[in-house]
A and B are shown apart, each in its own frame.
Chain A
Amino acid sequence: MRQPSAGEALAAALSAEYAAIYAYGRIGVRLSEAARDAARQAEAAHRRRRDALVVQLTTAGGVVPPDRAGYALPFPVTDRASALRLAAEVEERTAAHWRAALASTTGADRDQALAALVEYAVRATRWRKTAGQTPLTVPFPGRPT
């Protein structure tokens, strides 16, 4: 398989960030108090990375994929339990796109991809903790299973 270029890998990460922001809109309304605050902070982090990627890809003259009106969720979000499960899932999936960008990048771009992978993997662990899921961690965060 051909190694994607840095621009292609970052465009894929941007599409994942769009989907994560959409998902958190559905997640937040099913949560209350501390968990809702945590969802708000998580969504803000994804928005910051989305904005940074749009600037970065535009500056580099690369293709900026458009956001979509909606994204298919892997399962319906109907209550607190399914919202927390989806939050952990969203973080793992977004982490996977940043992990994939590691191979296509070097230097500061790779540092940026690694920081995102680490942050989202840790947040997935926090969501599992909130949900009472075990184990709290996966052996290879972001690796396709």
Chain B
Amino acid sequence: MLLVLGGAVTPLTGCDLFDRDDQPAPPPDPLRPMVDESLALAAAYRASATAHPELADRLNPIAETHTAHATELARVIGVTVPSAASAAPTAAPAADPSGARAALRALEKTAQQSATAACAAAPAERAALLGSIVAARATHQEALK
């Protein structure tokens, strides 16, 4: 326990002593979480398409859309797209197709809300991209009905 505590304290002391002039790290880009959110949505669609092959024709194009959103968001904020494996693990798809579709609709609804907030707060040069992402998430809910 003491050792762990010491490990945590030492670098901090070092900072104070030697790195006083360092600027604090820039805050993470507010769109960074949306990259992960898009990748997680893509993963959820792929998992449902695997579990319910009869839905694959409908779900796979939407999964590709979410991946395209992640790619575009990453380009805008200047980061590389994390590998799909780093997307947050999603819950297992529902056993029945209609339950799986309902679960994806609920994910899209929440994601639409977060993108709406991001669009409202965005500078001009990002507003159109975010607006398209909001609209895409809304159309996915319609397509899943």
Contact = CB atoms under 8 A, between A and B. Distances in A.
Interface of B is mostly: helix
A11 B37 CA distance: 35
Interface string A92-114: 00010001101110000011011
Interface of A is mostly: helix
A6 B89 CA distance: 42
B134 A140 contact: no
B115 to A, nearest CB: 10
Interface residues of A, number: 29
Contacts of A95: 135
Nearest to A107: B120
B135 A141 contact: yes
Interface stretch (A25-33, A48-56, A65-73, A116-124): A116-124
B61 A102 contact: no
A59 to B, nearest CB: 23
Interface string A118-145: 1001101110010000111111111100
A135 B116 contact: no
A103 B128 contact: yes
B44 to A, nearest CB: 16
